[in-house]
Amino acid sequence: MNWSARFLFYLLFFADLRLAFAEDLPPVNAIDPMIGTITKRTDADFYGLGKTFPGAATPFGMVQLSPDTITGGDNASGYNFLHDSIEGFSVCHLSGTGWYGEMGNFLVMPTVGQLEVDRDRARSKFSHDNERASAGYYSVQLDRYDVRVELTATQHAGMFRFTFPRHAKSRIQVDLARRIGMKSRWLKHSRQFVEFVDEQTVRGWMDCPHTDGGWGQGAGKVSYRLHYYARISKPLIKRGVWDRLKVIPAVAEYEGANTGFYGEFETAADEQVLMKVGVSYVDMAGAQRNLEREIEGWSFEEVHHSARESWQQALRLVDFKGGSAKQRTVMATSLYHCFMEPRSIVDSDGRYRAADGTIRTADGYQFRTVFSGWDAFRSHFPLLTIIRPDVIHDAINSWLELAESTGRDYLPRWEMLHSYSGCMLGNPAVSVILDAYEKDIRSYDVDRAYELCVNSVERFGNHPHGFAPGSLSHTVEYAYSDWCVGRFAELLGKHQDSEKYYRRSLSYVNIWDPSVRWMRARDNEGAWIDWSKKTNYGQGCVESNPYQQAWFVPHDVQGLIDLMGEEFFEAELKAFFDNTPEDLAWNDYYNHPNEPCHHVAFMFNYLGKPWLTQKWTRKICDVAYGLGPYGLGGNEDLGQMSAWFVSAAAGLHPVCPGDGMYQLTSPVFDEIVFKLDPQFYSGKTFKIVARHNSPENVYIQSALLNNRPLQRSWIAHNEIARGGTLEFVMGSTPNREWGTPPPLSNVPQAIERESKVSNAE
C-alpha cells in the first residue's frame, strides 16, 4: 500500500471511530463487528469467548463474507483476533457458537508470485493496525502479498475488492474443499465441481457431507451442497485447478475431492481487481440469478452503501437515546448480532431446497435455518417477538415444513441446514411456539404445531421415571417444556391434555434431595448420583453446576420456594450473586458467559425485592459487555448473549417465555422506542423512558404506564403490543415500596402439588 492510500485508510478509520461516539448520528455508525472476535485465549480454554466474525453481512442474510484465520478445532467463526495470519476469506459463517464450526466454504485468497495451493502455506501475516470493520464492510492489508482486501455483501452474494501491487503474476485462488469444522486435512467423502464459463466467469458446487466434518466435526449431521457463480473484473490470462496439492492447468472443468481453482493476471501498481460471487443451496442457476439480481455492475461502493443501509433500516426498529459512548456501541452491535439468525436460505426468485431434496417455492414465509435452540429461546426469540415477529412466524412455519420433509414427527432442538443435530438439551422449539401463540403470532397450522409439540415432549422428556436419569439439567428443562405444552393445551381448550402436562411440569420436585438441601441427579434406579458440593461443575449438569442449574424452574417459582423454604431460597439467591467475582467472568456462581443463568437476576422480582434485580442487571450490562475483541465474556451463541443485553438495557426481560410477561428492571438508556410491526400488533410504537437516569441512579422510584401509575414489577406482552409509553423515575437508593411481584406460579392451583409426581402417566 502506498503512502497516499495508507493516509486515506487511517483518515477513514479515525473518522468512523469519531462518528461511532457521536450521539446524534445513526446507530449504524456505532456497530463494531470486532466486538467478541476472540474464540479462545489459549487452546486450554474450554468454552472460550465471543467467537463472533468481523466480516460483512446483511440482516438475516445467507452470505457472511469474512476472514478466516483457522480451520478446525472449536473455532466456529473461523476467526480469532489473537491470530496474526489469514488463510483466506470465505462466504458463509456462524456467529459465536461452540462445538467446532460449520460453513466457511469458498475460501478466497489473493496472492502474487509463485502459486502455492496449500492454504496453510499460502496464508499471510497481517496487522490489526491495517484492519477495519463496520456494518457491511471489512478490509485488511495482507503483508505477505502487499494486497489490500475489502469485503461487502448482499443477501445472497458477496463482493471482494483487491488492491494489488505491480506484479506479473497476480492471482485469485479459491479453495473449494475447505470447511471450518473439517475432521482432517484431506476430505474423503466430499466432492467439488469447477467450470470455467469464460475468461472472467467460474461456476460450480461444493458437496459438504457430515462424514467429512462440519458442525460438531460431523456429529451434528449437517450435510449440504452449496452452488456458486463467480465473476472477476479482469480477464484471466492463466487458469487452472488443483486436487490435493496437484496443480492441473488449463482445464475447462473439473470434479474432485480436495479441489480448488485459480486465475492469474498481470497488475499495475495499486490496481484494483474485483470479484463477485453469488451462492445458492438450490442450483448453479440460482447462484447466477442471485448474483445478477443483487450485484449488477462492478461498483463496490454501491454494494457497500446498500449493505450499510440495510443495517440502518434494521436498527431503526429499536431507537435508543442516552447512555455512554460505550453503551451505545454495545447496544448497536448487540442489535447487529441479534439480526444474524435465523437466516433465510430462499433464493432471490423464491425457490429453496427442502430437506427431502425437492425444490419448493416460498409461499407466505421465508424458509429459515440455524436455530440455536437451547440458547435462543431464553432471550433472542422473545426479543424477536417484539421487534421482528415476522421472523418468528417464518421460523415456526419452517419447523413445521421441516418435520414433514424430513419424515420426522417432532421439532428440532438445534437445527442447521435441515439437520436435527440434537445438540444441547430440552425442547426449546416448544417454548418458542407457545410464546408466539401467546403473543398472537399464529399464521401457521396451529393444530399441527401443537401435535409436534406433544410429539417432542413425549419423545424427549422426564417420563417414565419422573426425571431424566443421570441429569439434573435435562430434568428441569423437560419440566419446563412440559409446562409449555400444558399451557398451549389450555389455550386451545384441550383441558385433559393441559392437566396431564401441567402435572408433568412439576417433575423437578423428584430431584430435590433434602439430605443435601439441593437438586441432585438420580440414576436409572432412582438412586442419587455422587455428590460433592453444589458449586462443583457437572454432577448431572450441562455446561454448569447444580447451583446454577437448579434455579431453572421458571414456570413454577412458588413450587421452588416451597421446596427450598422462603428464607433459604432468598439467602441462597443473594449468596449466588454476592459470591460472583467482580469481573463476571466464567465462575461457579452467577455465570453470565453461559445461558443456564440468564434468567436468575430477574428472580428477585418474584421475592418482592425488585431493587436487587435492578442492581444486578445494571452491573451485568456494565461489566459483562464491553468494546473490542474481548467485549463478550462468553459465546455469542447466534444472538442470545446480545439479546439479553438489548432486553435488559431496555428495562424488561422474560423469565418464563410463554407466560406473556416481562420482568421490569433498570433501563440503561434514557429512552428506547420499539417500532411495532402493524401486521402483528395494533400499536405503532412502545416507548420506555427513564427520567434522571445515570450510572448512580440505577433504582426505580416509580413508574407510569400510559400516564397511569404502575406499581407492579412486570408488564404483559399485550400491553407492549397495544403501544404506549412506560416511564420510570430513577434514583440512587432503592425504593422498597415499589414493585409488587408477578404471579409466582404459572401452574394452576387446581393441579395438586405432590412430593413426587406419579410416573404412571
Closest residue by Cα to residue 675 from 318, 312, 310, 313: 318
- In a domain? residue 29: yes
The chain-wide mean pLDDT, for the chain, equals: 95
Per-residue pLDDT at 212:
96
DSSP-assigned letter for residue 530:
P
- In a domain? residue 567: yes
> Is the domain of 540 the same as that of 604?
yes
Element (H, E) at 384: helix 380-387
> Is the domain of 307 the same as that of 329?
no
Q: What is the CATH number of the domain that holds 580?
A: 1.20.1610.10
Query: Strands 685-691 and 724-731: what pairing?
Result: parallel
Q: Name which of 4-8, 342-346, 687-691 the model is least confident about.
A: 4-8
> Is the domain of 262 the same as that of 328?
no
Residue type present at position 142: L
> Is the domain of 266 the same as that of 359?
no
> Is the domain of 240 the same as that of 384?
no
pLDDT band at 10 (very low <50, low <70, confident <90, very high): very low
> Is the domain of 264 the same as that of 355?
no
The tens digit of pLDDT for each residue in 169-194 reads: 999 999 999 999 999 999 999 999 99
Residue 142 has pLDDT above 90, yes or no: yes
Residue 328 has pLDDT above 70, yes or no: yes
Per-residue pLDDT at 455:
98
The tens digit of pLDDT for each residue in 97-129 reads: 988 889 999 999 999 999 999 999 999 999 999
> Is the domain of 22 the same as that of 67?
yes
State the average pLDDT over residues 336-360: 98
Range of the domain at 262: 3-315
Per-residue pLDDT at 754:
56
The tens digit of pLDDT for each residue in 573-632 reads: 999 999 999 999 999 999 999 999 999 999 999 999 999 999 999 999 999 999 999 999
**For the stretch 13-52, what's the b/e string if a residue is b when 16 or more beta carbons lie within 10 angstroms of its beta carbon?**
beeeeeebeeeeebbbbbbbbbbbbbbbeeeeeeebbbbb
> Is the domain of 274 the same as that of 416?
no
- In a domain? residue 218: yes
- In a domain? residue 686: no
Higher pLDDT, 754 or 661: 661
- In a domain? residue 689: no
Element (H, E) at 293: helix 284-294
Q: Name which of 226-240, 277-291, 663-677, 741-755 the model is least confident about.
A: 741-755
State the average pLDDT over residues 217-230: 97
Per-residue pLDDT at 63:
98
Per-residue pLDDT at 48:
84
> Is the domain of 356 the same as that of 287?
no
Q: Measuring CA to CA, how many Å separate 19 from each of 13, 126, 558, 577? A: 10, 26, 49, 37
Residue 342 has pLDDT above 70, yes or no: yes
- In a domain? residue 725: no
pLDDT band at 9 (very low <50, low <70, confident <90, very high): very low
Residue finishing a domain among 632, 664, 696: 664
- In a domain? residue 346: yes
> Is the domain of 511 the same as that of 653?
yes
Identify the three-state secondary structure at position 80.
Answer: coil
The tens digit of pLDDT for each residue in 476-498 reads: 999 999 999 999 999 999 999 99
Residue finishing a domain among 315, 347, 367: 315
Kindly give, in sequence order, each residue whose CB lies less than 8 Å from that of residue 339, ignoring residues fewer than 6 positions away.
59, 60, 311, 314, 388, 639
> Is the domain of 353 the same as that of 297?
no
Total structural domains in the chain?
A: 2
Residue finishing a domain among 281, 315, 349: 315
The tens digit of pLDDT for each residue in 386-439 reads: 999 999 999 999 999 999 999 999 999 999 999 999 999 999 999 999 999 999
> Is the domain of 307 the same as that of 328?
no
Per-residue pLDDT at 175:
98
- In a domain? residue 265: yes
Per-residue pLDDT at 753:
64
Q: What is the CATH number of the domain that holds 136?
A: 2.70.98.10
DSSP-assigned letter for residue 664:
E
Per-residue pLDDT at 23:
57
The percent of residues above 90 in pLDDT, for the chain, comes to 93
The tens digit of pLDDT for each residue in 364-396 reads: 999 999 999 999 999 999 999 999 999 999 999
Residue 131 has pLDDT above 50, yes or no: yes
The tens digit of pLDDT for each residue in 14-47 reads: 444 444 444 566 899 999 999 999 998 887 777 7
